[in-house]
Structure 1
Amino acid sequence: MPRFHCAAPLATGTRVELPPGPARHVQVLRMQPGQTLTLFGDDAAGGSFEASIESMGRSDVVVRIGAYQPDDPRAAQRPVHLALGMPANDRMDWLVEKATELGMASLQPLITERSVLRLAGERAEKKIAHWRGVAVAACEQSGRNHVPQVFEVKSLAEWLRGLPPAQGQARGLLSLRPGTRQLSSFEGDDGAVQFLSGPEGGLSPAEEDAAIACGFTPVTLGPRTLRAETAPLAVLARLLC
C-alpha cells in the first residue's frame, strides 16, 4: 500500500485534503477514488492511518481517514542521534537518505575547521528544507513513521557550547587518534546515544579535544579509514540493524 507523509492533522473519520506533495504523488501513481493508502505525520507515538481516496481534481486529492495503527513496527531499537561535519556536493543528500532508512533519530549538520561545504543565511535554510524533504521521502520508502529531525546548521563550537551535561548519555566521537574504544562498547544498551563525525579530512585535534571535554568518547570503526559520508552509516548499521 502506498505510504505518504502528511503534516495536516489526522483523525479517524475526518476528511482531509492532502498537501501538495502527497497529492502530486497520488496523481503520479494514477490512483483512483476508492483506493487506499497509508498516511503518517508528526504523531509522537509513531502511528499511522489507513485512508481511502474520496475525490480527485486536477491537483487536489481528498481522502477519508480510517483506522489508526498505533505502533511503528520499523522503529529503531534505540535513539541514535548524528552530528556531523557536512560532506560536500551531493554526498550529504545521500547520507541523509541512507541514515533515515537505517533509523537515525536526528541529524545536526555542522560547520567545522575543515568543512568544504559552508552554509549560511538563505542558502542554509534552503538546504535544510531540502534535506528534510529527503528524510520524508526516505521514510515513505522504508516504512518508517517517525521522520528524523534535521536541525539548523551550526558551527561545531556553537553546538558544543549549547549541549547540556551528558548526565549518563552515551556520546561517541568517531576518531583516528590513538587510544580509541571499539564501537562494540556502545552495543547492548537501549539508551539514547549521540555520535559526532567530521567532514572530509576529519575534525582537527583541537575540535576533538573540545568534544572530549563535553563528554564524547573517541571511538574507532576498525583499521580502515572510511569516507565522511560512510562512517556515520557504519555506526547506524552496527547499532540498529
Structure 2
Amino acid sequence: MRVSRLYLPQTLEEGAVLQLDEESAHYLRTVLRLKKGADLIVFNGDGREYSARVLTIGRDGVQVEIGTGRSRDVESPLTIHIGLGISRGERMDLAIQKAVELGVSRITPLFTEHCVVRLDEARRGSRRQHWQKVARSACEQCGRNRVPEIAEPIELRDWVVGSEGLRLFFDPQAMAGLKDLPQPEGTISILSGPEGGFAEKERILARETGFIPVRLGPRILRTETAVLAALSAIQAIWGDLG
C-alpha cells in the first residue's frame, strides 16, 4: 500500500512531535483522510524525507511524531528553468503540475503580448502563492523532496534577457527539433508561450537574445500540452526519462 506524503513548511527533526498548521491539518484530515496511528512520509523541501505517524487528530488539531529521516534524491540531472506564458486557471495549474513531475528546477510565469490574464500587484502575490502550492502538491504526489521555486511573474522581455545556458523556445514555425541539438551543459532555459502563442516581435526578441526555435512535431499544441511534451522529450533525450 502506498504511504501518503505530506509537505510541512517547518523544521523536521527525528523524534519531534509537531502540531500541524491549519492548512496541513485540513489536508491530512479531509484529503488524505488519515486516522490516528496512520503512517506517512513528510518533507520540507530540503532534500530529506522522514517517516512519521499521526498521534492525534481532531477538531483541536493534528499532531504527528517524526521518525527516521533519510536523503532520497530523485532530482533530474538537468537544471531546467522554464519561462512560462501565463494562461488561465486550470491550464496554468496543469502546466506547473506536469513540469514539476517531469523534473523542472524553476518556473517563472511570464506576461506576454497575447497573455489573456492580467494581474495587479495584489493578485500577483496571491496567484504566485497558489502556483507554489500546486508545485508542492505535485512534489507530494511524484516523490520529489525538493520543491521547485515559482518565481515572481515578470515580463517576457526581462526574462529572456536574463536567461542563461542552452536557450530554447518552442515555435511551430521552427525547422529544428530537439534531436538536432548537441548535448547541453549547465542550465537549460525554456521559453514556452501562452494560450495565444508568441507575437512575431517576441519570436524576434527570443532569437536576438540567443534562444533557439525548436519544433515539437507538426501539430499545434496547447500551452499545457507543449510543456508536458517538451519536458518529456528533453528528459528522454538528455535526462533521466526512459
Task: Tell whether the structures are fold-level matches, with TM greater than 0.5.
Answer: yes
Q: Residue 30 of structure 1: CA displacement?
A: 4.2
Alpha-carbon distance in structure 2 between the residues aligned to 1:33 and 1:66: 15
SS in 2 for 1:119: coil
Residues 86 and 62 (structure 1 numbering): CA distance in 2 closer, same or farther, change over 3 Å? same
Q: How does 1:55-204 map to 2 (within 5 A)?
A: 55-72=56-73, 74-161=74-161, 163=162, 166=164, 169-178=165-174, 180-185=175-180, 188-189=183-184, 191-204=186-199
Q: Are 2:215 and 1:212 aligned?
A: no
1:41 has 2:44 as partner: yes
TM-score after normalising by structure 1: 0.87
Shift, 1:90, TM fit: 2.5
Aligned 8 A contact 1:23 1:59 in 2: no
Give the unaligned 5+ runs of structure 2: 236-240
- Return the alpha-carbon distance in structure 2 between the equivalents of residues 152 and 131 of structure 1: 11
User: Is there any run of 5+ residues in structure 1 with no aligned partner, and where?
Assistant: none
SS in structure 1 at match of 2:223 = coil
- Distance in 2 (CA, whole Å) between partners of 1:177 and 1:31 is 50
1:228 counterpart residue number: 223
Deviates more, 1:4-13 or 1:150-159: 150-159
Match of 1:52 in 2: 53
The offset of 1:6, in angstroms, is 0.5
- In 2, the alpha carbon distance for the partners of 1:107 and 1:198 equals 13
Q: Which moved more, 1:2-11 or 1:149-158?
A: 149-158
User: Alpha carbon RMSD of aligned pairs, Å?
Assistant: 2.0
- Structure 1 residue 83: Cα displacement: 0.7
**Does the Cα contact within 8 Å between 1:83 and 1:109 map onto a contact in 2?**
yes
Among all aligned residue pairs of Structure 1 and Structure 2, give the percentage whose two residues are the same amino acid. 36
SS at match of 1:229: helix
Question: How far 1:186 moved relative to its partner?
Answer: 5.0
1:97-121 deviation digits (Å, cap 9, x = unpaired): 2222222222111111111112221
Question: Residues 234 and 187 (structure 1 numbering): CA distance in 2 closer, same or farther, change over 3 Å?
Answer: farther
1:187 deviation in Å? 7.0
After TM superposition, the score normalised by the length of structure 2 is 0.87
Q: Deviations over 1:124-144 (max 9, x none)?
A: 221111111111112112222
- Determine the C-alpha separation between the residues in 1 that align with 2:184 and 2:155: 30
Q: In the aligned structure 1, how far is the partner of 2:89 from the partner of 2:68?
A: 42
1:9 matched to 2:11? The reply is: yes
Count, aligned residues: 233
Q: Which residue of 2 aligns with 1:25?
A: 27
Please tell me whether the aligned partners of residues 166 and 184 of structure 2 are also in contact (alpha carbons under 8 angstroms).
no
Separation of aligned partners in 1, 2:24 and 2:88: 29
